[in-house]
Amino acid sequence: MKGRLFGLIACLALFTGLGAAKAADTIVQFSATGAFSDGVTLAGTMDVDVTAWCIVGSAGCAGGGPGSAGAPSFTVSAYPGETFILGANPGFVAANTESLPLISQPFCCGDLSMQVFFATPDAADLVGYDGGPITGGQIVADCGTNGVCNLHSGITGSFTPATAGVPEPRTWAMMLIGLTGVGFLGYRRAKRGRAMLAA
């Protein structure tokens, strides 16, 4: 009876650990690198929830809002000390082309804003997204009496998967306890079988 109870607990620990590991895999981080046509470079990250197929930080997606952990965040070489974060909800500007609208934090230089366009495998959502090319975009500023100034344009670059979901240490511990327990249960059964054959 004790052996069966131990086996049940071990299996439960193993499946709990596997379930938690699977849940961790639902958020995938992508790193972005690119350059504008004038040589100014950009770098950043964006997390995608591959269960809901949405960009973390956008409305209706997991996590907090713009500026929270996992939400899109970019730096641009021409603006040291500035971080570009999600300014509005991402949306499709054309089939297979998603737009990230970003704003500068802290505000400087006449309220900088940036758009980054990237290619998607599906025409109207992020289903199956696993990285790909940055196909365009620009940085603009409110130039007062001069209207909107186009400061940098013609982004080319790519998004690449930076990390798959990594299970937390407690998840690894649960899986290890479960595997150890299942292994020990198998060892006891084998030992009991040998003892019966010897008798």
CA 135 to chain centre: 20
pLDDT of residue 43: 98
Sign of CA dihedral 175, 177, 179, 182: negative
Q: What angle is formed at CA 161 by the lines to CA 94 and CA 122, rounded to 5 degrees?
A: 25
Per-residue model confidence (pLDDT) at position 107: 62
H or E element: which one contains 186? helix 169-198
Residue 65 has pLDDT above 50, yes or no: yes
* Length of the chain (residues): 199
- Residues of the chain with pLDDT > 90, as a percent, come to 54
Cβ contacts of 174 within 8 Å, gap of 6 or more: 13, 14, 16, 17, 20
Most confident of 29-33, 141-145, 177-181: 29-33
Which pLDDT band, with edges at 50, 70 and 90, does 64 fall under? Answer: confident
- What does the pLDDT read at residue 178? 62
Q: Is the peptide bond before 72 cis (omega within 30 degrees of 0)?
A: no
- Mean pLDDT score, 47-57: 94
With contact defined as beta carbons under 8 Å apart, do 114 and 76 qualify? yes
Residue-averaged pLDDT of the chain: 80
* Predicted confidence (pLDDT) per residue in 121-178, tens digit: 999 999 999 999 999 999 998 776 556 788 899 999 999 998 655 554 555 466 667 6
